[in-house]
C-alpha cells in the first residue's frame, strides 16, 4: 500500500512545467559572454521560482543580429573554434572572424551550449534557442517579449 507521503514525493518529481514564455533579444554591440550567461539562465529556467535541476522549465529565446555581436580584447583574430570528424587528420580549426563571416549564429550556439548541462536535458534546452544573423525572424506568431540584457 502506498502511503500519502510516498504519493506526494512522486507527484513532486513528475510536476509539469508552467507555460513557456518567448523572449526576443537583440545582441547588436553586446558582449558575447555576458549575453550567453543570461540566455543560458533563461533556457534552464533558473529565473523562475519553480526551477528544479531535473526538469526543463525554461523559456524560449530568440536572438537577432548575431552577426553584430562583439567580443572583448583580441579574441576576434585569436579565438579558435575546433571540430573533429573522428578520422586521422580530421581536426579543423577556424578563427572567430572567419566563423562570423560564414555562420555567425554558430558563435552564440557554441557559447550558450557550453553553459548548459552536458546531457539529454541540456540538448532539449538548446532546442529552445533560435538564433538569426540579421534583424528578421519568423516567430511573430508567438508574440515574443523584448528583453534588454
Predicted confidence (pLDDT) per residue in 50-65, tens digit: 899 999 889 999 999 9
Q: How confident is the model at residue 6 (pLDDT cuts 50, 70, 90)?
A: low
- List pLDDT tens digits, range 77-102: 999 999 999 999 999 999 999 999 99
Q: Please report the domains of the chain, with CATH numbers, ordered by start residue.
A: 20-146 (3.90.1180.10)
Q: Mean pLDDT over residues 142-148, rounded?
A: 96
Total-model pTM: 0.86
What distance in Å separates the CA atoms of residue 37 and residue 148, rounded to the nearest whole number? 14
CA atoms within 13 A on the CB side of 61: 28
More confident: 56 or 139: 139
Pairing of strands 22-26, 145-146: parallel
Contacts of 56 (CB under 8 A, 6+ apart): 17, 45, 121, 124, 125
Helices 32-44 and 105-113 pack at an angle, to 10 degrees, of 60
Q: How confident is the model at residue 149 (pLDDT cuts 50, 70, 90)?
A: confident
Amino acid at each position: 500500500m502506498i502511503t500519502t507521503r510516498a504519493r506526494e514525493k512522486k507527484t513532486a518529481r513528475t510536476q509539469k512545467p508552467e507555460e513557456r514564455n518567448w523572449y526576443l533579444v537583440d545582441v547588436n554591440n553586446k558582449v558575447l559572454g555576458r549575453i550567453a550567461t543570461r540566455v543560458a539562465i533563461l533556457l534552464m529556467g533558473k529565473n523562475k521560482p519553480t526551477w528544479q535541476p531535473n526538469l526543463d522549465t525554461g523559456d524560449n529565446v530568440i536572438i537577432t543580429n548575431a552577426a553584430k555581436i562583439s567580443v572583448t580584447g583580441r579574441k576576434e583574430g585569436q579565438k579558435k573554434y575546433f571540430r573533429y570528424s573522428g578520422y586521422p587528420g580530421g581536426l579543423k580549426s577556424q578563427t572567430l572572424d572567419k566563423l562570423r563571416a560564414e555562420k555567425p549564429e554558430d558563435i552564440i550556439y557554441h557559447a550558450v551550449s557550453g553553459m548548459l548541462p552536458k546531457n539529454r536535458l541540456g540538448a532539449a534546452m538548446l532546442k529552445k534557442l533560435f538564433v538569426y544573423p540579421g534583424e528578421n525572424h519568423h516567430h511573430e506568431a508567438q508574440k515574443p517579449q523584448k528583453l534588454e540584457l
